[in-house]
Each structure stands twice: as structure tokens, then as C-alpha cells.
Amino acid sequence: MAIFRFVDQLQKRSFQVDINRDVRVLEVINALLAEPKYALRRVDDQNYPINYMLSYEARYLNSNDTFKDIPEGATIDIVGDDTVLGGGFMGSAVVEQLETDGTIKTLNIKPEFGRHEIEVAFADEYEDNRTGPFHFLREDDAQRFTDAFAACKSRRVGKRNFQRTGENIHFSVRWFGIPTTYAPYYVLSLPEYAIPTSLSIIELNKTTEPWGSDLERGRSFKIGRLKIILISKTNDYECHRTVIRDDLRNRFVIYLPCQTSRSDKTFDFRLSCQFVINAVEFSTSEFDAPSSSKHDLRRRGVTWCGRLPEVEERKVNQFLTGNFHFPSPVSGEQIKKLQRALLSAFPEHASLKQFVRTEFNTHLVHIAGGDNLAEIVFNLITWAEAEGRLDELVEKAYYAKVGNKELRAFVFQVFDCRE
């Protein structure tokens, strides 16, 4: 168990939670969406749907991540992945532009001396003319980029990283040691009229092997004449990124925020992309793949020192630590309410049958018979109570039907009954 501080960046409030380190990020999101009194808003002020994510030190946590690798007391940001347009800020960027002949240009852009950020917008946010994958909101930044990129030397990509198979072209690249202090981006413009068919971007995570503190991922050492680069064999994960069709330059652009939880604040990744060249279909093509989403360049860490009301915070704490626990003894009224909630969550015999089979590894007919669904649900509750598994029944039903309002209301009413 560990204490974490969660900050809701949209509603500008925070609360501390005593959480089981084995809990997955997805379970936390479900918990935070569950209770109406403090629930995260499902839409923003302009009614855009929002997909909520948790972020630690500017790195988005995947739904299957747990909190084992996050130090106790750390602040977890609750952020919405929205699509509001405008302008934003970027600390630096590695910008690459690939061509059909296998040549590539690379430019590392940074703010001018005395500034920490560059004001930019994504390619599809404005229709003004530009020479690169960003709209620079300051004219001097735009001119600096144009001049620097024009002076870049083209390099030919090696055959291992640029391959043609019929109409398909495969490109791959690895980057090590990108500093993450000032919210950098890696940006790749695909060749003109290239339509991506697959894309994978993997963060190469820190090795778990006991090599010692000096030998981390991306670091190299020598044994005789052999040079070895350590790359993690575990914990690599698919990075969130934004993929946009840039109609002005007739290129797809991949934007990757370089975010990590590494102690040395550097980012390593491997990108692999396959595409075809098709000038006829380019203007109507789309690319939508897992982990591709719209990142907001304007997102800021908001510090807000308020707390939830004590009763609500207690309910969050109890929920996230997995304490589905009925007060003893269980009253007849609570059994009646639980029966009604389960009937609302599982209105069909088939869905209840599947739930019992998958969650309890048994068949519904073996533990709870009856002439109708209400009687079957009552007998299921009776079986769970007799087996000492009533708390388990409620918890598993809640996670299976987290969107059911009646079951959710019952769960939090039970929490309110606790000492």
C-alpha cells in the first residue's frame, strides 16, 4: 500500500489516496468516473468527449500499467485527451523528414537563448503557409526553422532501416537519450503522398537485469572487442502519439511526445512504419491505429492544494484499496438493494451466466437455481454470503459493469455504512 496524490487538471482539485500498488491504471480511471459527487467530467466546456488518462512526470500511463514503479507520495495528474484547437508550447523537437528515395533530413530545434519554450500548433490546426510540420506562432521561430531546415544535409538511410517490398516501403529508426526536461517532441514527416498502413512506436524501457546503476538501457559497454548496448527485455510499451494528414505538404506527420518516468530524464524509443505511395488516394486517406490520439500541446501542470470533502475522500480511499467490505451483520434491506442492483446490472440470464462462469470459474446452475431471474440472483447472493464471498461478488460485479448507475450507487452506499 502507498499514498499517492491525484490532481484533476480539468476540475482543478486534488485528493490523496492510499492505493494498492498492484492496482491497474484502468481501475483507477473507472473508480474516479464512478461516484457522481466527485466524478471526472466526461466532456469539456465545449462538449467535446474526453478520454481520461493518468500521467506521472509528463508520461502517460497505459491502462495495464500498475503503480509499482511510482514512488510513494508522487503526484499523478488526471488529464483529458481532448481535441481543442489553438496554440501551445514545446520545449524542443527532433524533426525528421523522409523522402521516397530513402534520404532523410534531421533537425534539432530549440528555443532561442533566454526562452524555455516554442509556441507551436499542429499541422492541421491552421491553414496558413508553412515549411514544416508545425505552425510556429512567432514569426522569428518560423524563419529560424525554415533557414535551419533548408541548410540541413540529406542522409541516405541504411538498407536495414529502409526496405521496399513491392509497393510497400518499411522504415525504422531508433533514438536514444532524448532529454525530457522541457517537454520535447520527436516529429517524423513521411514522404510525399505516403499513406501509412502500420505504425509501432515502442519506448525502450530501463533494463530489469542486475547490471548495476551504471549500465542502463541505451548505455554501452565492451567485452573485449564486442560492444554491447543494453536494451530492456521487459516493460517496453507502445507510446501514445498523434498522426495527422498534412494536406498542405501532402505528407502524413507523426508527432511523438518524449515523456518518461526514468530517473535520468531521458527518452529512448524505436519507431517502425510501413507505408505505400499513392497520390490518387492520399487526399481521402486516414490512419487510425491503437495508441494514436490527439495530444494537446497546451497542456500544463496545474497545482491546486484543495482536497475533496472528507466523506468523499474516504470513499475513494476505500474503493481504490479494494475494500469492498460489508458491515457485519448484513441486513435484509442491504440484501434487497443488492439484489435490485444486480438485476439492473445483469438484466438477462445469459449475461449473469457468463459473469459467474468467467469471474467465479463455476456454472451458475450449480450454485444458484430458480424459476426466474430475480430468484436466481437472490440465490446467488445467498450462496456468496454462505461461502464468505459476498464482498467478492460485489467487487467483481462492479468492475464488470462499472457503468451501471444502480450498482454503483449501491456500492458507495455500502461504503457510507462503514465505520
Which residues partner with 108 through β-bridges? 94
C-alpha angle 60-123-8 in degrees, rounded to nearest 5: 30
In this structure, are 71 and 120 located in the same domain? Answer: no
Q: Which of 265, 284, 303 is the last residue of a domain?
A: 284
Residues 61 and 140 in one domain: no
Q: Are 202 and 237 in contact (CB under 8 A)?
A: yes
pLDDT in tens, 100-141: 999 999 999 888 766 667 778 888 877 888 989 988 878 888
Query: Are 92 and 68 part of one and the same domain?
Result: no
DSSP H helix total and E strand total for the chain: 9, 21
Let me know whether 264 and 403 are in one domain.
no
Q: Would 26 be classed as within a structural domain?
A: yes
Domain of 44, CATH number, reads 3.10.20.90
User: Confidence class of residue 216 from pLDDT cuts 50, 70 and 90?
Assistant: very low
Q: Are residues 69 and 98 in the same domain?
A: no
Asked whether residue 126 falls in the same domain as residue 275, the answer is yes
Among residues 284, 311, 345, the one where a domain terminates is 284
144 assigned to some structural domain: yes
Query: Does the pLDDT value for residue 402 go beyond 70?
Result: no
Exposure string for 280-308, b = 16+ CB within 10 A, e = fewer = eebeebebeeeebbbbbbebeeeeeeeeb
Does any domain span residue 317?
no
The pLDDT of 153-171, averaged and rounded, is: 94
Does one domain contain both 38 and 100?
no
User: Are 46 and 28 in a shared domain?
Assistant: yes
Residue 235: count of CB within 10 angstroms of its CB: 14
- Kindly indicate the confidence band of residue 301, based on its pLDDT and cuts at 50, 70 and 90: very low
| Residue 261: closest CA among 78, 63, 58, 73 | 58
**pLDDT band at residue 72 under the 50/70/90 scheme:** confident
pLDDT (average), residues 374-398:
90
**C-beta separation of 9 from 82 below 8 A:** no
Q: Which of the two residues, 234 and 382, has the higher pLDDT score?
A: 382
Query: Is residue 345 located within the same domain as residue 400?
Result: yes
Residue 238 burial (CB count, 10 A): 15
- The reported pLDDT for the residue numbered 356 is 94
The answer to whether the peptide bond before residue 329 is cis (omega within 30 degrees of 0) is yes
Is the domain of 92 the same as that of 123? yes
Task: Out of 254, 284, 314, pick the residue that ends a domain.
Answer: 284
pLDDT at 289 exceeding the cut of 70: no
Residues 143 and 191 in one domain: yes
Count of structural domains within the chain: 3
Domain assignment of residue 341, given as a range: 324-416
Note whether 275 and 339 are same-domain residues: no
d(CA 195, CA 191): 9
| Average pLDDT over the chain, rounded to an integer | 76
pLDDT digits (tens, 9 = 90+) for 257-266: 887 655 567 8
370 vs 208, residue with greater confidence: 370
